[in-house]
Amino acid sequence: MTEPVVPVPARPPIPVRLAHAPLAQGLVVPHITLAHRDRTRPVWGKLDHRRLREALSRRLCQVCGQPLDDRVVLYIRPADHLRGISPEPGVHPECGHYSRQACPMLAGRQTRYNPHPPEKFARCEDPACQCRRWQANERDSREAPREGQPADAWYEVWIPISDYTTVHDPGTDTAPPVTGIELRGAKLLKIRKVRDAAPAADGTSHPVDLLRAHLAFAAMFGYGGLRL
Ligand SMILES: [Zn+2]
Ligand SMILES: [Zn+2]
């Protein structure tokens, strides 16, 4: 009888820009990830909303927290493309390169959204840590629950910093409000798919990947820089 194979989390090489970033289990703790005051103790999968707002308004990289450069990399799903907003702040190209390898969702190793997100937080012993004020997020009733759902396709989009604009979409009866980076009208310097959508477990077909269809259509007409 052979031993079951336990998947080892990837620990990709850390780029120079992230040399001083906090590490947890050998992985960089992104700047906007919720963490205790000792940032080597993150709550994986949870965002620090104050840091998220600051990253958007001050044009900071969501991984290293430093100001973005001329070229900004965004990671988006087909639904973000349809809505014209990237809900996540941009990253430096080298921070994106690292994230593509380290993030199980972007690397394609994760096929479902976390079915049991941590909603109860462990408090630490540091009296100056903010963790005593952490609260579970209230879900917007217009938001489809993602937990346990098959992973979406993800794309990498490069835009110039001159087109990096934060917008707020107040939402509709069926769509929750979102604040993020305006995709409509932004000059796309490069687009490529970084992972496919995971198949649904019950055999139902995944929503049509309209971004892929859009890019395939654009490619027929000689739209540059496409690598699907
Ligand atoms: Zn704490
Ligand atoms: Zn960065």
pLDDT tens figures, 152-211: 899 999 999 999 999 999 998 888 899 999 998 899 898 899 998 887 766 555 555 666
Of 103-117, 138-152, 198-212, minimum mean pLDDT range? 198-212
As given in the structure block, the two tokens for residue 165 are 């604009």
* Mean pLDDT along residues 22-47: 94
Tell how far the Cα of 64 is from the centroid of ligand 1, in angstroms: 21
What confidence score (pLDDT) does residue 227 get? 41
CA distance 103 to 105: 5
Q: What is the CA radius of gyration of the chain?
A: 18
**What does the DSSP 8-state code read for residue 67?**
B
Q: Is the dihedral of CA 167, 37, 12, 16 positive or negative?
A: positive
pLDDT band at 121 (very low <50, low <70, confident <90, very high): confident
Which ligand is located closest to the Cα atom of residue 130?
Answer: 1
Which ligand is located closest to the Cα atom of residue 42?
Answer: 1
Tell how far the Cα of 36 is from the centroid of ligand 1, in angstroms: 4
Which ligand is located closest to the Cα atom of residue 65?
Answer: 2
Tell how far the Cα of 131 is from the centroid of ligand 1, in angstroms: 4
**What does the DSSP 8-state code read for residue 102?**
H
Q: Is the dihedral of CA 105, 102, 58, 182 positive or negative?
A: negative
- Which residues 6+ apart lie within 8 Å of 98 measured at CB? 12, 14, 15, 18, 28, 63
Question: Which helix (H) or strand (E) covers residue 108, if one does?
Answer: none
CA angle 195, 65, 26 (to 5 degrees): 60
Q: What is the pLDDT of residues 201-217, one digit of tens each?
A: 665 555 556 666 666 65
Which ligand is located closest to the Cα atom of residue 89?
Answer: 2
Tell how far the Cα of 98 is from the centroid of ligand 2, in angstroms: 10
**What are the residue boundaries of the structural domains of the chain, listed by start?**
67-111+150-227
Tell how far the Cα of 110 is from the centroid of ligand 1, in angstroms: 28
